[in-house]
Every structure is written in C-alpha cells, then in structure tokens.
Amino acid sequence: MARKTKPSKFGELIALIIIGAVVHVIYGHLLPTVSWALIALAVFMLWISFFMPTYCDYRTQRNRPCRWRVRGKLRGCGIHARDKRDALWRACRLKNPGTLFRVMWASPDDPPPARPGAGTPNTSLQPAATQQGARDAAVFYCTLVSTVAGVISAIVGVLALTN
C-alpha cells in the first residue's frame, strides 16, 4: 500500500516562485517593477489564504485547535468551515450574508431559535467557542489589500500599454 504524504508548503512555494520567475522573464517588459511586486504580493497572500497546506486550527469546545488538514488559512475543515467563516465576518464587525440563505430545520416543539449574532442570555457563563477572530481578520485584510493592489497594478499596466 502506498504511503500517503502530506502536502509540502516548501515544495509548493518553490513551484510558485519558479512559475512566477518564468512568467516575469517572458512578460517582464510589459509591466513596471512595482506592478510585478504588487502582483507577486497578491499571489502570495492568495496562496496563504486559500491554497497553502495547513490545519483547520479552529478552537474546539475542549479549548484545543482542530487538527484536520485544510488548504489555506481562511478555510476550515468540513466540521468548522461555516463557524470559521462566521467568525471572520464577526471579526470584521459584519454579518455573514450567507446566513440569509440557511435553512434551519427544527421540530414543532422546539422554541424559536435566536437571531444570528444576537447571542444567548447566559453567554457570560459559557466560554467562547473561538478566539481566532483577530488573526482571521488580519489575514483577510492582508488578502483584500494585496488583491486590490494587484488589480490596480494590472489596470495601470494596461493603461501604460495603451499609451
């Protein structure tokens, strides 16, 4: 039976750098150096956020991080993906727009559920399920800034080509 190996962050990063270097050699004359630096930063942040092999790391009820393997710091395992997305939106002080489309099935005898984000009356007695909000928000903001910078640099490059 073949042995399963875990994905290598280092190997994937080296491949990403080699591909970036080849693209820069072929198309380097089309964009200024600043644009290439911004594009490289955007690609690197997107790789960290969505493709890098890592662990879920969602803080479980036992106050330990989840050890399931996932791709990207912003993604969660099958159990915690929804909770991780909700925590990211809460860290940004926003409501997850996906909650509008969630269908919650309950028996007729159950009391009506609390509104999302409203909390429960006895939250002071229960510890929070996650403390990952600040880190997730920082990764989200870095990804957002680098993506915007990449789009701006691409627009500047296209405008420079037309002149």
Q: Which domain holds residue 66?
A: 31-103+128-163
The verdict on residue 90 lying in a domain is yes
Question: What pLDDT does 129 receive?
Answer: 46
The verdict on residue 143 lying in a domain is yes
Q: How many domains does the chain have?
A: 1
The verdict on residue 24 lying in a domain is no
Question: What pLDDT does 60 receive?
Answer: 87
Q: Which regions in the chain score pLDDT beneath 70?
A: 1-7, 104-114, 116-133
The verdict on residue 113 lying in a domain is no
The verdict on residue 41 lying in a domain is yes
SS (H, E, C) the chain: CCCCCCCCHHHHHHHHHHHHHHHHHHHHHHCCHHHHHHHHHHHHHHHHHHCCEEECCCECCCCCECCCEEECCCCCCCCCHHHHHHHHHHHCCCCCHHHHHCCCCCCCCCCCCCCCCCCCCCCCCCCCCCCCHHHHHHHHHHHHHHHHHHHHHHHHHHHHHHC
Question: What pLDDT does 131 receive?
Answer: 56
Question: What pLDDT does 127 receive?
Answer: 45
What is the reported pTM? 0.54
The verdict on residue 108 lying in a domain is no
